[in-house]
Amino acid sequence: MGQTVVLVHGAHHGGWCWRKVARLLRDAGHEVFTPTLTGVGERAHLLTPEVGLTTMIRDVTAVLEAEELTDVLLVGHSLGALAVLGAADRARDRIRRIVLLDGLVVEAGRRGFDALPEEVVVQRELDAERRGDGLALPSPPAGAFGVTDPDDVAWVERHLTPQPLRCYREPLVLDGPLGAGLPVTYVYCSRPPYPVIASSHQVVKDRGWEWRDLPTGHDAMVTDPEGTVAALLA
């Protein structure tokens, strides 16, 4: 029996990044939604100073509600993990399970920037000020996300867009516990690891959430779509 799967992308990406994974899931009979969050991807033109983590959470919650989805497998990649955790807090009854794919995770009340090394935060703030009008982080090369195949590198770099800076500056506000009391699985992309989110791993382990290893790069949906699908559905 097919599942309802909502795939939420990370920073600089858009719904486009799930193309390979979504195709595999649909071919297997699952219903798949790949929303693009405000301010990036094909919605980059909607960037304003107000676009932040709250906007991302509203984007995800709105998909769940507008499509009248229930019993959802909700997946968040990288920074998208925070949007998923926020949406779960607001729409718990619509969700069956959460998967965080190499996700950035913080405790309630903390910011995305709080999970990153101080030197990374300083550099990103400087880059946003110098090259992003203080509103957005310029896009890194695809190699920063563990993408190495030349065709994949070209495809990803054609689509990456600047990331709204406020998404990292705004705290994760929750009414309930982190994870909303739902089953949560963390998929760790280990080859190569993405070191800037290493502090997230301790938050996951403190919660006792299920941990899975996926031996591919941070953009697993690009570098190993078959392995990603297996990890999401296992």
Mean pLDDT of the chain: 97
Tokens of 145: 């996300």
- For 73-127, the pLDDT digits (tens) are 999 999 999 999 999 999 999 999 999 999 999 999 999 999 999 999 999 999 9
Catalytic residue among 78, 139, 199, 200: 78
Tell me the pLDDT tens digit for each residue of 167-206. Answer: 999 999 999 999 999 999 999 999 999 999 999 999 999 9
Q: Cβ(186)–Cβ(103) under 8 Å?
A: yes
pLDDT higher than threshold 90 for residue 62: yes
For residue 1, pLDDT beyond 90: no
pLDDT confidence band for 147 (50 / 70 / 90)? very high
Percent of the chain residues topping a pLDDT of 70: 100
What pLDDT, on the 0 to 100 scale, is given for residue 93? 98
- The Cα–Cα gap between 173 and 85 comes to 10
The verdict on whether 190 is a catalytic residue reads: no
Q: What mean pLDDT comes out for the span 20-48?
A: 98
What confidence score (pLDDT) does residue 214 get?
A: 98
Q: Give me 25's structure tokens.
A: 């899931």
Judge whether residue 132 has pLDDT over 90.
no
Task: Express each pLDDT in 106-119 by its tens digit.
Answer: 999 999 999 999 99
pTM value > 0.95: yes
Q: Is it the case that residue 44 has pLDDT exceeding 90? A: yes
Q: Which fold has domain 4-233?
A: Rossmann fold (3.40.50)
Mean pLDDT for the stretch of residues 51-65: 98
